[in-house]
Structure 1
Amino acid sequence: MADVMAESEADVAVVGGGPAGLHAALVLARGGLRVVLLDESDTLGGQYYKRRAEQLTAAFGDFRPQGTELIRQVRESGVDCRTGTLVWGAEDAGRTLFTSDVRTGALGRVSTRATLVATGAYERSLPFPGWTLPGVVTPGFALHLATMDRVPVGQRVVLAGTGPFLLPVACALLEVGARIEALVELNHPYRPGISSIAGALRQPARLAEAARYLLTLARHGVRVEQGSRVLAAHGDTQVTAVDVAQEDGSVRQLETDALCVGFGFRPSTELPRLLGCDTRPDPTGTEQLPVVDTDGSTSLDGLYIAGDCAGIAGVHAAGVRGQLAAHAILRRLAPERAPVRVAGLRRRARALDRFAELADRLYPLPNAADIPDATQVCRCEGVTAGEIREAAATGWNDLHGTKAATRAGMGPCQGRECGHIVAALAGRREGGAECFAARMPIRPLPMAATVEGQEVQ
């Protein structure tokens, strides 16, 4: 059985130990506040500042040493860093957080004066025939293997989807010896118009970063096939071939032993939506994004949001947003300790937000409603696109009725993987976006923890 619930207090709770949460926690602790940093992973850093195992670090060096330094500063500043701690619920505008130890199931309750949510994002997947075959993975998974374990996801790899993230993934795969059979980009971001070029020139560092990736690919003979997309993957016990629709309308088949497909990222918004802060629909009509001001404040007093949880803008914007939110919290809780001017941070945030808007224009998402009927959408419950359409077509099934009728989104991922696809197939709610409601527990809990935790409801 789970341990008896442990209770603790802090001035500020930061949920998420990635770049936004780390930068925020450091500012808050240096401002004299008691800060608790909660992260579900075993180590701090999030996806961007992931840590290599000691043996690999000794052999290949530190992965992103700036992250190691940031984590060191956070720990030395006195932040109470609680890794392996799942935040599965909250109430009172985030002033009470319910936690569970991911190793033991032990329950906890954290009371705070303010909460900063920096829960990051998920990779965005779009189903297609064959996407459930072994060897079909997300780009993030391939990047993790290549950078953390120095292992290629396959010897012959096809990368596909859309977004700038495909470029560093391809370069990481080349570094560990994989052969890139094709990099299939849905859009035409590397043939931009005049307005897009002008926007990119305002961020020379980001432009230079993209240029380095493209030059690396060119040196290895990898061509970015723009205006192309994966139609289907084939194989029995492993993906062996991929059908690619090319820009001229022809279809060619590539042999491969790994297919990495991704369409950018989706904000992880369950916690702020659970607490009931104001939201707005995203451009796809299948997400509700928290409404925040320039400093990360929400409509709920004491609840702040930073990083990709508030909208995808990348790691550099996440760090700046985390600092801005921390300064806003300091002004609220300890104004005498917050003399720092933030005009420079705000200018930097605006510039990075404009760059994120440019990326959205260069890498628009495809229409998820075009998925063939026989394609499995909800892998947890084995529900196809056709079954979702049939349930939605009854006339009385809204998104949640469709979920109840088909069980799509009721598996262990709780709709985090398929919810946006189910929403697209079920049709938009008139007047705004519709997405699965956030409910406690927002992550699966061990049964023992659930039984013991009845007292917190």
Structure 2
Amino acid sequence: MSAAPKQDQYDVVVIGAGPAGLAATAMTAEAGLSTLLLDENAGPGGQVWRAINSTPVKTEALLGVDYWSGAEIARAARDSGAEIIHRATVWSLDRDLEIGVSVGGGSAFIKAKRVIIATGAQERPFPIPGWTLPGVMTAGAAQTMLKSSGLVPDCPTVLAGQGPLLWLLAAQILRLGGRIDRVLDTTPRANYIAALPHAFAFLTSLYFSKGLAMMREVRAKVRVTSGVTELAAEGDGTLSAISYATASGKRERLPAELLLLHQGVVPNVNLAMAAGIEHRWNERQLCWTPVLDAFGNSSVAGIAIAGDGAGIGGAQAAVVRGRRAAGDAIKALRPQAKIVDLSAELARAERGRAFLDVLFQPARQFRIPQGDTIVCRCEEITAKDVLDSVAIGATGPNQLKAYRRTGMGPCQGRLCGLTVTELMAEARGKSPQEIGYYRLRAPVKPIMLSELASLPKSEESIKAVVRG
């Protein structure tokens, strides 16, 4: 096992090296706590600050000042004295704060006195007809290529969806000389009215001026079609066209070789759910969020969740949440320590978030597909397959596994879980909370049998792998 953890027990283990994880790591390590940071990427930054130490895009204006703000926090974590391991897959976490991690082809179990989960967000599923065609990608995947390798589209390209990331990606692609033929905005017009009660907070927030400038920058260079209510990717074996319709009745078919989809981000909950942490359906953000106290502490003693994994709040809020969780861990392990109250700073960072949550709440037809549209990409299960299973007795996502194997592929439900919950809830006339989510167990990420075989053959480790 290459670059294995140096110890088998730490005061604090932080999982995820995005904004929250880096901030938490620096704080606990600087306080003198033995700290281990585990991250599955090649370097620090998470998605927001991806490749912050290695991106070939060196001109600050191209990626924006918000991106480069991550360099200082990444440097603080590096210099804090914490042990940091990249390319580490965390595949297990239990109530005893034992963590299963694989690095370099081998696995090990480590113990912690406190765990801070900072696994961040993932893109919300966008199940439209043809979304599995080669040539269709998520905006997040395109942004990963842009930040990591400086790659931008040079073929007929369409961006479709809604939310801040869609506009940010469009601006970054254009700044780097990439090609965008059209932006198809799926923001429902009714959302603008629904968001009005939250407008003042947004207008006086950090988001407003930046967001407005970015949208103006894109609109000055690319044609934007608003009010899109229908969307489909077409092609025989690969993407060749995109068809859409708008609320005004306009229909058009655009030739395209690349379609970038995005309709917001949601918390990455798989590891937290597998650890038995209580989650509830968030009606505003339309996703599962963990039940936490003010410092991010979960329903499992010793485990806190920070950053967007605790509920979408953005990078600045994630940094503050990471520091609050770290401060609480320090206070628990070093009762004499003095911790600064960050409540006011968090309130400033989160100001305006409610407006964005309501404005960019995806339309029903882009969350709950129909007919032959694929829901579960891993097992190629369609919306009709799911509804047929409900008709013959499947009551929730876990029963659906037995009927159709949904959520049992390599992604472990990440790309279909929300869709399955909402689809089954609507079919059964129940709330998503009543329908529930997949029952998740270790390993929550794909690992090789050889990695499991490398574990010490103690009775305790065997029970950890096969626990129910």
TM above 0.5, yes or no, is: yes
Instruction: Deviation per CA, 1:153-196: give whole Å up to 9, x if none.
Output: 34222111121211101111212323322212222589666534
1:444 partnered with 2:446 = yes
User: How big is the shift at 1:90?
Assistant: 1.8
| Deviation for aligned residue 1:269 | 1.4
Query: Which residue, out of 367, 389, 393, partners 1:391?
Result: 389
What is the CA-CA distance between 1:305 and the residue it aligns to?
Answer: 0.8
1:439 Cα deviation from its structure 2 partner = 0.4
Residue 90 (structure 2) pairs with residue 87 (structure 1): yes
Distance 1:260 1:3 in 2: 36
Call closer, same or farther: CA 1:198–1:55 in 2, change over 3 Å: closer
Aligned mates of 2:62, 2:376 — CA distance in 1: 38
Count of residues in correspondence between the two structures: 449
Could you tell me whether the CA contact under 8 Å between 2:157 and 2:257 is conserved in 1?
yes
CA distances 1:11-70 after superposition (whole Å, capped 9, x unpaired): 100011100000011111121111100111121111111116858257889964432332
The alignment status of 1:298 with 2:301, answered yes or no, reads no
Query: Given the alignment, which residue of 363, 366, 369 partners 1:366?
Result: 363
Q: Which amino acid aligns with 1:425?
A: L
In the superposition, relative to structure 1, how do residues 60 and 160 fare at CA in structure 2: closer, same or farther (>3 Å)? same
The correspondence of residues 427-438 of structure 1 with structure 2, limited to 5 A, is: 427=425, 432-438=434-440
Equivalent residue for 1:72? 75
Could you tell which deviates more after superposition, 446-455 or 49-58? 49-58
Residue number in structure 2 paired with 1:202: 204
How far off is 1:335 after superposition?
2.3
| Counterpart amino acid of residue 127 in structure 1 | P
Residues 135, 239 of structure 1: 8 Å contact kept: yes
Residue 416 of structure 1 corresponds to: 414
Structure 2 portions without partners, runs of 5+: 464-468
Counterpart residue number, 1:98: 100
- Cα offset, 1:274, TM superposition: 1.9
- Return the letter of the residue paired with 1:402: L
Cα 1:36/1:6, change in 2 over 3 Å:
closer
Instruction: Answer whether contact 2:281 2:288 (CA < 8 A) is retained.
Output: yes
CA RMSD, 1 decimal:
2.7
- Do 1:2 and 1:452's aligned partners in 2 also have CA atoms closer than 8 Å? no
The question of whether the paired residues in 2 share the 8 Å contact of 1:159 and 1:184 is answered with yes
Distance 1:433 1:376 in 2: 20
Aligned mates of 1:197, 1:5 — CA distance in 2? 48
Given residue 251 of structure 1, which amino acid in structure 2 is its aligned partner? Answer: R
Greater mean alpha carbon deviation, residues 16-25 or residues 62-71 = 62-71
Q: Which amino acid aligns with 2:90?
A: V
Partner of 2:466: none
Does residue 241 (structure 1) correspond to residue 230 (structure 2)? The answer is no
Which residue identity is paired with 1:206? Y
Query: Are 1:184 and 1:229, in contact at CA under 8 Å, matched by a contact in 2?
Result: no
Specify the alignment match of 1:407 in structure 2: 405
Note the C-alpha offset of 1:452.
4.0
1:285 deviates by 9.8
- More displaced stretch, 309-318 vs 4-13: 4-13
Give 2:213's aligned residue.
Answer: 212
Q: What per-residue deviation string (whole Å, max 9, x for no partner) do you get for residues 115-143 of structure 1?
A: 11101111112211111111111011122
Partners of 1:141 and 1:285 in 2: how far apart? 22
1: CA distance between counterparts of 2:21 and 2:53?
22
Shift of 1:272: 2.1
Report the TM-score when normalising by structure 2. 0.88
In structure 2, the CA distance between the partners of 1:374 and 1:79, relative to structure 1 (3 Å rule), is same
Say if 2:340 is the partner of 1:341. Answer: yes
CA–CA distance in structure 2, aligned partners of residues 54 and 148 of structure 1: 7
Structure 1 CA distance for aligned equivalents of residues 425 and 284 of structure 2: 11
Q: Given residue 98 of structure 2, which amino acid in structure 1 is its aligned partner?
A: T
How far is 1:277 from its partner? 2.4
SS of structure 2 residue aligned to 1:427: helix
Q: Counterparts in 2 of 1:177-192, with a 5 A limit? A: 177-187=177-187
Report the 3-state secondary structure (helix = DSSP H, G, I; strand = E; otherwise coil) of the residue aligned with 1:262.
Answer: strand
Identity among equivalent pairs (%): 30
Q: Which digits, 9 at most, give the CA deviation of each residue in 1:352-403, with x for residues without a partner?
A: 3342221111111222564231112212111111111101111354321112
Counterpart CA distance in 2 for 1:340 and 1:370 is 45
How big is each residue's C-alpha offset from its partner over 1:413-452, in whole Å with a ceiling of 9 and x where there is no partner?
Answer: 1111111112222226566351111201011111112344
Q: Out of 345, 354, 358, which is 1:357 matched to?
A: 354
Aligned ranges for residues 85-234 of structure 1 at < 5 Å? 85-93=88-96, 95-101=97-103, 103-104=104-105, 106-187=106-187, 194-203=196-205, 205-220=206-221, 222-234=222-234
Confirm or deny: 8 A CA contact 1:281 1:432 kept in the other structure. Answer: no
Report the AA paired with residue 382 of structure 2.
Answer: T
Return closer, same or farther for 1:266/1:55 CA change in 2, 3 Å cut-off.
closer
Q: Which amino acid aligns with 1:341?
A: V
2:340 counterpart letter in structure 1: R
SS of 1:107's partner is strand
Q: Contact between 1:39 and 1:83, CA under 8 Å: does it hold in 2? A: yes
CA shift digits 1:64-119 (9 cap, x unpaired) = 443233222211110100111111112234x2111111x32x11121111111101
TM-aligned CA deviation for residue 310 of structure 1 = 0.6
Q: In the alignment, which residue of structure 2 is the partner of 1:314?
A: 314
Judged with a 3 Å threshold, the aligned counterparts in structure 2 of structure 1 residues 108 and 389 are, in CA distance, closer, same or farther, namely same
Worse-matched range after superposition: 441-450 or 145-154: 145-154
Contact residue 131 and residue 233 of structure 1 kept, 8 A: yes
Alpha-carbon distance, 1:280 to partner: 1.5
Q: CA deviation at 1:235?
A: 1.6
Query: How many angstroms apart in 1 are the aligned matches of 2:367 and 2:74?
Result: 42
SS in 2 for 1:199: helix
